[in-house]
Structure 1
Amino acid sequence: MENTKERLLAWSTFEQVDIRIGTILEATDFPAARKPAYQLVIDFGPDIGLLKSSAQITKRYSKEGLLGKQIAAVVNFPPKQIGNFMSECLVLGSVGAENDIVLLTSDLKAENGLRIA
């Protein structure tokens, strides 16, 4: 196991990461992706609006099951070109041994756009 002190992050660095709650409004197949993925449209409330993301979450989630799900995502990374799609936020999840991702979600309904602290 690696040394914990080598992984330490300054609090001021963590504060720069803007993680918000959003609700998935759309989930569609992303056939142009190298690995199986969905294209998501996520509502982060009136201040941030709708952002798109590519997410490799097809092992555990169906498109229909994602609709209305509240998730956590980083909203202040620069957009990233993934194939023919521009991803505007990074959906967060835990990554299992076989790249099976479990989304970080809210167990109670929260207002879209609320910051994770």
Structure 2
Amino acid sequence: PSSRTQVMSHHGRPMSVAAPLSVSDDQPLWMPLIIQTVATEGRGIEALIDAIHAHQAHLHLDGHLQRLEHRQLEIELQERLRDALLMRLLAHVSSQDMETLIERIQQRRLTPNQAVESMLAGLRFG
């Protein structure tokens, strides 16, 4: 699997995620079928089930499903870690300190990155 990453926006926040798998001759791009169904008439249901099974088989081919799940779990873990670290950090930053940092940023005496570094400097892990 590729270890390349790309930056994407998630809920307005940039995050680094694994780049999509590249398509190669030995792993062709999956193009899901479009199956017309009419539920009230029961038409197309068997074809839809067959198409779902074919797609499942494709996902299991060469560990594609495992790689996809690995990426999704990596993203979820990073999001949970980011949220937990933010909550821990904010628990140690007073509202007055936060207000002071915001004012200094607004006055252009401090960049947002410098403010973050200032807050992180006082954070202890453990």
Interval containing the TM-score (normalised by the shorter chain)? under 0.3
Tell me which structure has the larger Cα radius of gyration: 2
- Per the normalisation by structure 2, the TM-score is 0.21
- Per the normalisation by structure 1, the TM-score is 0.23
Q: Relative to total residues, which structure has the larger helix share, 1 or 2?
A: 2
Q: Relative to total residues, which structure has the larger strand share, 1 or 2?
A: 1
Query: Which one scores higher on RCO, CA 8 angstroms, separation ≥ 6?
Result: 1
